Structure 1
């Protein structure tokens, strides 16, 4: 049985959304574990940016402050358009005792390249922070 154009398009979108959710999970686990090198590998190979508050980092390495506590993202809204995607989700940061220390929102631009999805640009706006 073959799929029609619309079915193929829907299937590709669902597959992309699942891969982006996996990217988020991997990004969060690596951040929480303090694995800077692998965390950076969730970003586009060249030209990626990470904005936290008013500070934009083109050297993602300098923006890393993980390894203590846990980062979790929830409430993902993902829009896929071919090899490009956007995402909005809620970020929750816990300390090592499991207490919420910050909440905020990610606004992401993603790209599919080299056989996977990567962050091209992330903007993190904290609502509350300790």
Structure 2
């Protein structure tokens, strides 16, 4: 059976979305495991960047702060695929020693190359820490 152009387009988009979700999950597991080399391998071969709260890293080794009982989970992924390029926006949850520590948002750009999806850039913006209000009394 031959697919129509529209059917093939939808199928390719669904496959790309599934692969991007798997890449993101692998990225998070490697972060939690403290696997620097594996974590870096989720980025494109050259020219990738990582930005955290306004600080940009072109040397991904300097950006890595995973492991040490830190676990990163992402959720609520919004993915838009346009051919070999994609964007993703998702919520980030950071746990330290099993306790929730921070929430934020990832804004990602991705590319399909060498037979797979890779991050070209990830920008993480942590939410401001809520300030306790003085109790009325």
Q: TM-score, structure 1 length as denominator?
A: 0.96
Q: Secondary structure at the match of 2:45?
A: coil
Stretches of structure 2 that go unaligned for 5 or more consecutive residues are 130-137
Q: Distance in 1 between matches of 2:33 and 2:128?
A: 22
2:33 alignment partner in structure 1: 33
1:74 alignment partner in structure 2: 75
Q: Secondary structure at the match of 1:42?
A: coil
Deviations 1:67-123 (A, max 9, x none): 022100000000000000000000000012x11101000000000000000000110
Q: CA deviation at 1:2?
A: 1.1
1:53 alignment partner in structure 2: 53
1:115 alignment partner in structure 2: 115
Q: Distance in 1 between matches of 2:128 and 2:103?
A: 5
Structure whose CA Rg is larger:
2
1:125 alignment partner in structure 2: 125
- Supply the RMSD in Å over aligned alpha carbons: 1.2
Aligned length: 129
Q: CA deviation at 1:128?
A: 4.1
Q: CA deviation at 1:11?
A: 0.1
Runs of 4+ in structure 1 off by over 6 angstroms are: none
